[in-house]
C-alpha cells in the first residue's frame, strides 16, 4: 500500500465525509425536534459539530482497516446514530417517515452543492486538482450515503420509511428484523447484492439527476 497515496486519499475525502455524516445525523435530530421529539436536542446531537457524531470505530477505525484490507476497493463506516424517541413524535407512524428521510435528503442536497462547486471550478478555469478531486469525492460520498441509507431494511433509514408506510400489523412484523438488520445488510453487502442491485442503479440515477439540475449552469458557463 502506497502511504503517500493513502494520505492524499484521506485528505481529499476527510472534509466531504465529515460534512456528510454530521449533516446527515443533525438532520435526523432537527426533523425529530420539529415533529415533537427533543431527545437528540437535549443530548446535544442537533449540532454541526462533527465530534458529537463521530464514532471512533465506525467512522475512523473500520474505514481505515477496510481500505488497507481491500486496497481501497471496499469502504464502509458509520456515525453514532442520533437518538429518536418515536413515541414522542406528534404522529409517530407518519412522522417517523420524515425523520428517517431527513438524513438521505440532506446527503442528496450536499451532493448537489458539491457538484455545483465542481462545475463552477471547472467553468472558471480553476484546475487545482486537489479541490476538483475533493468536489468529486463530495458528490460520490453523499450519493453513496443517500443510496445506502435508503436500502429498505431496518435499522437503515429506508427500513424505517417502510415501517412508517406499512399497515400497523405488517409494520410491527417488519420492524422485528431490526436487531439482525445490520448483520443481514452486511452479508448482502459482502455478497455484492447491495452494490449491484441497489447502490449502482441508484447512484447512476443520482448522477443523471445532478446532470439535469446543473444543465442550465453548464450552458451559461460554456
Tens digits of residue pLDDT in 140-155? 999 999 999 999 999 8
Max CA distance (Å), the chain: 58
Tens digits of residue pLDDT in 46-102? 888 888 888 887 777 767 776 666 555 556 667 888 889 988 999 999 999 999 999
Mean pLDDT of 112-138: 92
Q: How far is CA 133 from the centre of its chain?
A: 19
The structure's pTM equals: 0.91
Listed by start position, the domains of the chain span 3-221
For the annotated catalytic residues, the residue numbers are 25
Amino acid at each position: 500500500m502506497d502511504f503517500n497515496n493513502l494520505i492524499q486519499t484521506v485528505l481529499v475525502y476527510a472534509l466531504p465525509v465529515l460534512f456528510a455524516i454530521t449533516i446527515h445525523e443533525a438532520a435526523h435530530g432537527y426533523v425529530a425536534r420539529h415533529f415533537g421529539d427533543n431527545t437528540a436536542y437535549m443530548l446535544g446531537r442537533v449540532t454541526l459539530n462533527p465530534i458529537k457524531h463521530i464514532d471512533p470505530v465506525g467512522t475512523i477505525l473500520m474505514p481505515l482497516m477496510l481500505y488497507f484490507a481491500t486496497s481501497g476497493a471496499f469502504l464502509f463506516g458509520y456515525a453514532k446514530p442520533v437518538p429518536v424517541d418515536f413515541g414522542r413524535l406528534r404522529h409517530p407512524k407518519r412522522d417517523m417517515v420524515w425523520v428517517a428521510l431527513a438524513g438521505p435528503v440532506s446527503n442528496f442536497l450536499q451532493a448537489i452543492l458539491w457538484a455545483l462547486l465542481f462545475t463552477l471550478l471547472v467553468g472558471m478555469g480553476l484546475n487545482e486538482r486537489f479541490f476538483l478531486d475533493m468536489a468529486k469525492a463530495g458528490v460520490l460520498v453523499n450519493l453513496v450515503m443517500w443510496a445506502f441509507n435508503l436500502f429498505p431494511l431496518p435499522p437503515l433509514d429506508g427500513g424505517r420509511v417502510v415501517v412508517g408506510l406499512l399497515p400497523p400489523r405488517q409494520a410491527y412484523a417488519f420492524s422485528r428484523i431490526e436487531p439482525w438488520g445490520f448483520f443481514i445488510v452486511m452479508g448482502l453487502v459482502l455478497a455484492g447484492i447491495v452494490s449491484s442491485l441497489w447502490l449502482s442503479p441508484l447512484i447512476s440515477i443520482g448522477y443523471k439527476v445532478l446532470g439535469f439540475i446543473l444543465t442550465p449552469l453548464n450552458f451559461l458557463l460554456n
